[in-house]
Amino acid sequence: MKFKIQNSSYGFLLLFLLGTIIQLRAQDQKSTVDSSLLERINYLEQQMNYHKSGDDHFMVVGLANFGFSSNKTTNTLNGISTTSKKSNLGDIDQFEFSPMFLWRHEKKYLMEFEPTFSQNGLGVSWADISYFAAPNVIIRAGYLVLPFGTYSKKQAAGWINKFATDPIGIADMPTSDYGVEVEGGLPLGDMKMNYDLALSNGLQLGNDGTVTSGYLVDNNTNKTITGRLGLLPFSNSSLEIGVSGMFGKVGTEGTSFHNVNGNMYAFDFNYVKTYVPFLVNFKSQYNIVDISNADYTTADEWATNYTFKNHSTSSFTQCSIRPTGIQALHDFELAARYSTYNTPSNSTWGSDQSAFAIGLNYWLSWRSVIKFTYEKYNGNSTGSEVLNAFTGITKSNTLYLQFSIQL
C-alpha cells in the first residue's frame, strides 16, 4: 500500500513537472511573438508619427499658359484701309506663369500670394491673409481680388477659361485693390446664398476719364465699397445668379476731379448641369461703369478742354458643351462666346466693340487642356473727331492655340 502511494505521488509529481515545463515553453513562445509584434507596432507608430501632418502647411500650386496666335487686322479710316498680319509665340494672351503660394496656419488662417510673369513683366495678382472667423464668415485683408462680378475671381485662370482669350471689356475692369473684405456662403433651406463685401482704397481717375485700381496710397480720403450677393436657387447648386456694386470717389483730392464719383454695377449668371451624355456650361456677365461728369484737358500743346458722358458697358455670354458620357469624345469640349465693350463716345478712347469666339478644347486631364480658339473682332471708334481720337473701323481675325495647366 505504501509502495502504491509512493508510486502515485511520483506520478503526480512527474505530471506536474511536465505540465509546468509545457506551460513555461508556451509562455516563452508567446512572449517571443508578443515582443515581435510590439516591435513592429512601435515601428509603425514611429512611421505614422513621422508622416503625421503638422498644424501648419505650406504649398505651391499655380498655373501656366503658353501658346501661339496668328492675327490679321484691317483698319479703315477715311476710306483708306490698312492691313497688318502678326504671328506670335507666347504673346500677351498666350503666355503666363503664375505660381500660387498658400500658407495654412492651423485651420483659422490662410495666406495667399500669386505673383504673375507675363509679357507685361512681373506683377502680383493677389497677396492677402484670410481669417476663418466663424462658420461661413471669412475676413480678409491685403491686396485682394474685388468682388465685382465673378469673372476675375473665378473664371479668368487659363485652365478654367474655355477660351484662349479673356472677354473684351470684362478683362479690362479693375480687379485687385488694397483693402479688407468679409465673405462667406450660407445655407438657405434648399437654396444657398453667398455674400462678399470689400472696403478698399478704390479706383483712381486718369486725366482722360479712364479708371485704374491697385494703388497702395489712396488719392482721396474716401474709401470704395464693393459688394456682391449671389443666390443658388436650386438644391443641386447648378445655377448661380449674382449682383454686384462698386461705389466710391475716384477723383484725386486737391484737383478739379476731387468730386468725381464712380458707380458701377455687375450682373452675373452661371449654369452648369449634366444632361446625359452632355455637360452644359453657360456663363454670362454684364458690367456698367458710370463716372460722374468732369471737365478734361488734352495733354497736347493746345490743352483743349472737353467733356463727355463717362458711361461704359461690357458683357459676355458663353456656352460650352462637353460629351462627358460618350467614351470616345469625353475629352473634347466645344465652346462659343459673344462679348461686347462700349466705351464713352466723344472721349479720346470711345469705341463700340464686339467679338465672337468659337473654341475646341481637348482635356489632357481635369486640369490641363489644349485650346483652339478662333476670334472675330469688330471695333467702331466713337472717339472725338475734334480731338483727333477717331480711329475708324477695325476688324480682326485671330487663331489661337494654347496649352493651359494648373500646377
Partner 1 sequence: MKINKNLQPISISIIVFVGILFITTINACAPTKAIAAKSGVQLWSENCQRCHNTPSPSTFSPEIWETVGMHMQTRALITENERDKIVDFLKSAR
**Interface residues with partner 1 (CB under 8 A)?**
53, 57, 59, 61, 102, 104, 107, 110, 112, 130, 132, 134-138, 140, 153-155, 159-160, 183-190, 192-196, 230, 235-238, 240, 270, 272, 279, 363, 365-367
Closest distance to partner 1 from the beta carbon of 323 (Å):
14
Closest distance to partner 1 from the beta carbon of 222 (Å):
8
Nearer to partner 1, 54 or 79 (CB): 54
Closest distance to partner 1 from the beta carbon of 285 (Å):
14
Nearer to partner 1, 49 or 53 (CB): 53
Q: What gap in Å lies between CA 211 and CA 139, rounded to an integer?
A: 27
CA angle 74, 79, 82 (to 5 degrees): 25
Looking up cell 495667399 gives: 112
The upper half-sphere exposure of residue 382, i.e. CA atoms within 13 Å in the direction of its Cβ, equals 16
CB 243 within 8 A of CB 266: yes
Amino acid at 170: I
The set of cell numbers assigned to 79 is: 476710306
Q: What gap in Å lies between CA 176 and CA 156, rounded to an integer?
A: 13
SS (H, E, C) 73-85: EEEEECCEEEEEE
Q: Which of 152, 90, 149 shows the shortest CA–CA distance to 117? A: 90
Nearer to partner 1, 94 or 155 (CB): 155
Closest distance to partner 1 from the beta carbon of 29 (Å):
39
**Cα→Cα distances 221→10, 218, 281, Å:** 109, 7, 43
Nearer to partner 1, 2 or 107 (CB): 107
Closest distance to partner 1 from the beta carbon of 346 (Å):
34
Closest distance to partner 1 from the beta carbon of 41 (Å):
22
Q: Which neighbouring-strand residues pair with 31?
A: none
Closest distance to partner 1 from the beta carbon of 104 (Å):
4
Closest distance to partner 1 from the beta carbon of 70 (Å):
28
Nearer to partner 1, 105 or 395 (CB): 105
Closest distance to partner 1 from the beta carbon of 99 (Å):
14
Q: What gap in Å lies between CA 339 and CA 335, rounded to an integer?
A: 13
86 Rama class: left (phi>0) / alpha (psi -120 to 50) / beta: beta
Closest distance to partner 1 from the beta carbon of 89 (Å):
26
**Cα→Cα distances 196→87, 174, 248, 263, Å:** 41, 17, 17, 17
Q: What gap in Å lies between CA 262 and CA 348, rounded to an integer?
A: 19
Q: What gap in Å lies between CA 56 and CA 211, rounded to an integer?
A: 40
Q: What gap in Å lies between CA 217 and CA 169, rounded to an integer?
A: 26
Total residue length of the chain: 407
CB 296 within 8 A of CB 207: yes
Nearer to partner 1, 194 or 373 (CB): 194
Nearer to partner 1, 153 or 337 (CB): 153
Nearer to partner 1, 192 or 258 (CB): 192
Nearer to partner 1, 61 or 124 (CB): 61
Nearer to partner 1, 322 or 341 (CB): 322
